[in-house]
Amino acid sequence: MMTPKKIRRRIVPEATLTWGEQLPPILRRLYAARGVTSETQLSYTLKHLASPLELRGIGRAVEIITDAIQHQKRVLILGDFDADGATSTAVAMLGLSMMGLTQVDFRVPSRFADGYGLSPGIIARLEEEGSLPDLLITVDNGISAVEGVRAARELGIQVVVTDHHLPGESLPDADAIVNPNQVGCPFLSKHAAGVGVMFYVLTALRRHLRETGVLSEAQQPNLGVLLDLVALGTVADVVPLDHNNRIFVEQGLRRIRQGEARPGILALLEIAGRDHREISATDLGFVVGPRLNAAGRLDDMSIGIACLLADGEDEARRLATELDSLNRERRTIETGMKEQAQALLGALSLDIDGLPWGLALFDPDWHQGVIGILAARIREQTHRPVIAFAPGEDDEEIKGSARSIPGLHIRDVLAAVDARHPGLLRKFGGHAMAAGMTMAKVDLDAFSRAFDEAVRSTISAADLDAAITTDGALSPAELNLETAALLRRAGPWGQHFPEPLFDGEFDVIRQRIVGENHLKLVLQPRDGGDIIDGIAFNTGPSVPDFTQTGARVVYKPDANTFRGRTSLQLLIDYLEPAQ
């Protein structure tokens, strides 16, 4: 059953709502609770995007790429093996081709053979193959590739780094670096995903080519056709949806809903049974993103990139089917790993209060491609920062994937461990909520202690209390299909701009387990209103009898169509016996 949680409400006093009188009251309330203070912040036209010229290093990057186009140099895009990396690679390939570059190809490191990012090994392999480029452009990686960039430049390769990850103490000696998070960069949207950074490079490049006469007005490509890819990468990478990112996502969603997306995106939605005309940002994050990520987790992300680049519907469907099969395999592997992790936790013989504050778990049978998802699942259950480790390329090395909790910047914690225990971590990097690392297997126990100590010195015991934040209750008059439709289109919702979530007390008329693990309920609001269906996914078969107690329910209103009839259904995130 679900881990007990405190339910908190984000409520904005009516007296503070001094704008948006023309909005439906519920939307005005929700937007204000998410920090929106003016109607401009809800305008998602492209003219409100931050200027690309604010990005440090973008001018030099554009000059280098312009020279490559004018002299038709060989350009290699070096991507990453997640959805942001895949969409960044596709955007770079398509955008540069649209601006006249003919010799452009891509390479994605193998998660298992190469590890993350631009490494000397990749450069050596390119040299062995006789396929060294004149210009190498990294997307969604490169800011920590000090050795890889050095190896490339020693062979005469120009390197342009485009990335969004946090830089370390030393920057690579690239010919140009474009990263909103590098020191001294004035760009306002520090939360841009890798695909957003690459899109900005293309917009600046197009402007430069126009101003220098390389492209005439008639030759200017419409980069807006790439926004479906930008939206997908932005949502799938779970970066905070600040105003700039919401513009990217909303513009991309509009293209997808109009059927103007890449055939690969439409095929991935089709194979998942989603109508592209009705999708939301949630569908990109939980439907398209996992299927794309499955290629990089289990096989080769080149399959995912090929799907995104496919021009024909038949080819797109074939590749989408392959990605869907990989995603099913990923789910099976994940289920087995989660059972193993539960056994490891049980072996600690501790209740939740006795667990370490920072959990580091390892099993020699775990799969590198799925440990990030596993860490997230265990974090959800324990409400602790979790690192799941899997074997590395040899018996002496292990690789970890970390997932954090609100209030704990996981990369900063790893940096603290590294500072206090030099040499314990061979390599690490990441964000506030997710990170990766490599270390010697023999150091796991020492690292586990150091990690727990660093977590304890960073947060308080109160931060370990699992909590769920809602937008309060919906009135009986608001519990209807119209509200569900309004909220679905009112986003885009996502990280740091959360999808509306409500809570209330209900009498439970009936309940039953469906599909072995899902709880189906028939609910009656205690403050009046119509009888409503509700469903809680993945509760497991053992749940309390809520028909005896009633339930306090945390939910999202949603439309459910069955046998041609559409009715209101509550998607239940959490429930507990009513007081």
* Domain-wise residue ranges, the chain: 6-34+473-577, 52-324, 348-464
Report the Cα–Cα distance between both ends of the chain, in Å, rounded.
Answer: 18
Closest CA to 202 of 180, 221, 175: 221
Q: How far is residue 336's CA from residue 312's CA, in Å, rounded to a whole number?
A: 37
pLDDT computed for residue 202 by the predictor: 98
In whole angstroms, give the CA distance from residue 200 to residue 202: 5
Q: Token digits for 486?
A: 């309004």
What is the DSSP code (8-state) at residue 500?
P
Look at residues 381, 379, 386, 415 and name the one whose alpha carbon lies nearest to residue 400. 386
Distance CA 212, CA 384 (A): 54
Q: What does the pLDDT profile of the chain (579 residues) look like in tens digits?
A: 456 788 999 888 766 677 778 889 899 999 999 999 888 999 999 999 999 999 999 999 999 999 999 999 999 999 998 999 999 999 999 999 999 999 999 999 877 677 778 999 999 999 999 999 999 999 999 999 999 999 999 999 999 999 999 888 899 999 999 999 999 999 999 999 999 999 999 999 999 999 999 888 888 899 999 999 999 999 999 899 999 999 999 999 999 999 999 999 999 999 999 999 999 999 999 999 999 988 887 878 899 999 999 999 999 999 999 999 999 998 888 888 778 777 776 766 555 667 899 999 998 988 888 888 889 888 888 889 999 999 987 889 999 999 999 889 998 999 999 999 999 999 887 778 888 899 999 999 999 999 999 999 999 988 888 889 999 999 999 999 999 999 998 989 998 899 999 999 999 999 999 987 899 999 999 988 889 999 999 887 888 999 999 999 999 999 988 888 899 999 999 999 997
Architecture of the domain delimited by 6-34+473-577: Beta Barrel (2.40)
Can you tell me the distance from the alpha carbon of 576 to that of 555, in angstroms, rounded to the nearest whole number?
A: 12
- Looking at the DSSP bridge assignments, the partners of residue 73 are none
Largest CA distance in the chain: 76
Q: In sequence order, what DSSP letters do the residues of 22-66 get, joined into one string?
A: TS-HHHHHHHHHTT--SGGGG---GGGSPPGGGSTTHHHHHHHHH
The pLDDT value given to residue 1? 44
Alpha helices (H) in 118-193, listed in sequence order: 120-129, 146-154
Q: Which of 465, 534, 472 is nearest to 501 (CA)?
A: 472
User: Would you state the pLDDT for residue 110?
Assistant: 79
H or E element, residue 320: helix 313-347
Q: How far apart are CA 304 and CA 312, in angstroms?
A: 15
pLDDT at 351: 58
Report d(CA 322, CA 304) in Å as an integer. 9
Residues in the chain: 579
pLDDT at residue 226, rounded to an integer:
98
pLDDT score of 538: 83
- Alpha-carbon gap, residue 417 to 438, rounded angstroms: 13
Exposure of 170 by Cβ count < 10 A (0-12 exposed, 13-18 middle, 19+ buried)?
exposed
pLDDT of residue 532: 95
Type of residue found at 448: S
| Two tokens, residue 42 | 């809800």
Q: Is the CATH code 3.40.1050.10 the one for domain 52-324?
A: no
8 A C-beta contact, residue 387 and residue 402:
yes
Amino acid code (one letter) for 71 = H
**Residue of 223, 300, 268, 214 whose CA lies nearest to 52:** 223
Do 6-34+473-577 and 348-464 have matching folds? no
CA torsion sign, 519 to 3 to 348 to 427?
positive
Do residues 259 and 266 lie in contact, with contact meaning Cβ atoms separated by under 8 Å? Answer: yes
Exposure on the CB side of residue 447, measured as CA atoms within 13 A:
29
pLDDT the model gives residue 16: 67
CATH topology of domain 348-464: Diaminopimelate Epimerase; Chain A, domain 1 (3.10.310)
